[in-house]
């Protein structure tokens, strides 16, 4: 089992371009797994992890409700935002500057074959990151992601998750609000959940702005601990 994960930070990149890039890596892993099965081979499958920061964009999961987007096409344009209906789970969410988005494209057969466990591990990464900053992040029953203040009138979501998996290969991932402009969440019903707020790490810590690179390092540390893996420099893999 290959527990090395090729890490690539894309910087700020258009959502659609990144989605297409994810799809190409995802397909390469699937094609290799099919080749292994058909030709009775045992070629090692790669794993990838993409960090990215997107320009303002709203994305709707395959089972999401379009009515949870509260803007017209013209209003989207006026706000400099785009919209895509995509093939992950979950409902609607927002991505934008000041948010750390991560796309683990893993062959879970290199780790464990349990999607529920995979989602709980992703949540645990951010529960541990928040703990590093003295914050108590928790899960909210029946609602994927990481929250603060669950069980109080001030419950607020700080990290959203949405994934797709096929033949145990994953794509899409997480979005952690670090220095996010929370006003953009007013234009949607986030994740289709009414009556709960959204927050950002800098707001919770009373800071104007946080160091995104510092937060990424903490994500990497906890991810590799939980998945008993290691990050290596990204290298192209041809199937």
Q: Residues comprising the binding site for substrate? A: 88-95, 160-162, 173-175
Q: Is 159 a catalytic residue?
A: no
Residue whose structure tokens are 């000041």: 98
3-state secondary structure 73-137: HHHHHHCCCEEEECCCCCCEEEECCCEEEEEEECEHHHCCCCHHHHHHHHHHHHHHHHHHCCCCC
Distance CA 183, CA 33 (A): 43
Instruction: Judge contact between 95 and 175, C-beta under 8 A.
Output: yes
Instruction: Judge contact between 147 and 195, C-beta under 8 A.
Output: no
List C-alpha distances in Å: 60 to 51, 68, 110, 204.
20, 9, 29, 27
Catalytic one among 158, 176, 178, 191?
A: 191
- Known binding residues are 88-95, 160-162, 173-175
DSSP state, residue 188? B
Q: Which residues are catalytic?
A: 191
């Amino acid at each position: 089992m290959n527990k090395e994960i090729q890490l690539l930070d894309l910087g700020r990149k258009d959502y659609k371009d990144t989605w297409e890039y994810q799809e190409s890596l995802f397909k390469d892993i699937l094609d290799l797994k099919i080749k292994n099965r058909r030709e009775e081979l045992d070629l090692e499958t790669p794993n990838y992890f993409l960090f990215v920061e997107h320009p303002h964009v709203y994305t709707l999961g395959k089972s999401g409700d379009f009515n949870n987007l509260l803007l017209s096409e013209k209003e989207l344009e006026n706000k400099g935002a785009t919209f895509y209906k995509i093939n992950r789970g979950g409902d609607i969410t927002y991505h934008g500057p000041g948010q750390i988005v991560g796309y683990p494209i893993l062959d879970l057969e290199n780790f464990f074959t349990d999607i529920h466990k995979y989602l709980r591990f992703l949540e645990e990464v951010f529960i541990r990151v928040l703990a590093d900053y003295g914050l108590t992040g928790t899960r909210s029953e029946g609602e994927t992601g990481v929250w603060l203040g669950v069980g109080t009138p001030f419950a607020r979501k700080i990290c959203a998750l949405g994934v797709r998996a096929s033949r145990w290969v994953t794509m899409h991932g997480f979005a952690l609000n670090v220095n996010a402009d929370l006003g953009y969440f007013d234009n949607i019903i986030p994740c289709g959940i009414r009556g709960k707020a959204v927050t950002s790490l800098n707001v919770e810590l009373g800071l104007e702005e946080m160091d995104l690179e510092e937060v990424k390092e903490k994500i990497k540390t906890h991810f590799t601990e939980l998945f008993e893996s290691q990050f290596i420099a990204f290298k192209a893999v041809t199937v």
